[in-house]
Every structure is written in structure tokens, then in C-alpha cells.
Amino acid sequence: MLPDEIPPGVQVVTLPGGIRTLAYTHTPPPVAPPVPVAQPIPAWAKTTALLVPTVGGGTAAAGIGISYAAPGLIAMSHALWAAVALIAAAAIGVPALLRLGRNTTGTGGGSTHITQNITATGLFGKAHGTINH
């Protein structure tokens, strides 16, 4: 027989003695797909699910706290700017007051002037100086 003449369910088989013959074969029934088994939830998923509301609640609480603290923070920034202005005024004013106080509390006429003349000969020469009071 030609292969296209063989009816369905019949195949050419080789017997243990080496003889080839036609025989009915049993086709195995189609295997049903395995039933899915419920998998346990991974630990990382549980941890993430528990952390999400905590982080969201913490963010909301921080936002509310900042909204309540905003007036105090603004006042504190104004106080810091006032302190910076005070330090700047002190840095300028204190030396000016000291200079005024030094000029008015002198014991006599003016201040003492000292003149010093220094001369040197050559690029690496020894310097000589005179002081005149």
C-alpha cells in the first residue's frame, strides 16, 4: 500500500523479529494542561505592600508639618537676616568708634610720626636703614 492509502489510526510498525507490518495504534489522549497551583506571595511583595501606605502617610504628615511650621520658618529667616545685618554693622561701626575714641583721648597735640629710610645697593646687597623721630 502507498502511504496515502493507509487509513487513519493504522501505522507501519516493525515487529521484534524484524518484519514490518500494518497495525492499529492507540493514540494517547491529549494531555490536559496542568492545573495552576496557587503560588505563595513573595516576601518582597508583602514588604512593599506594607511600606507603601507608611511612606505615603509619612509624606503627607511631613507636608502638613511643613505647612504648620512655615510661619515660624519665615520669622526665623527674618531673624537670621537681622542678625547678619547686626554683625555687618558691628564690623563697620566698632572700628570707626575705636578710631574716634583714640583720636580724642590723646595726651597732647598730634600723633607721633616715625620716618625710616632704607637703602640697598645691588640686587642682593645688604640693606642699611636710619630711623628719624
DSSP conformational letter for 6: S
Q: Which helix (H) or strand (E) holds 133?
A: none
Give the pLDDT confidence score for residue 59 in this predicted structure. Answer: 94
Average pLDDT score over residue span 100-127: 72
pLDDT tens for 44-94 read 999 999 999 999 999 999 999 999 999 998 999 999 999 999 999 999 988
Query: In whole angstroms, what is the distance from residue 68 CA to residue 118 CA?
Result: 70
The model's pTM:
0.33
Query: In whole angstroms, what is the distance from residue 82 CA to residue 74 CA?
Result: 12
Give the pLDDT confidence score for residue 44 in this predicted structure. Answer: 92
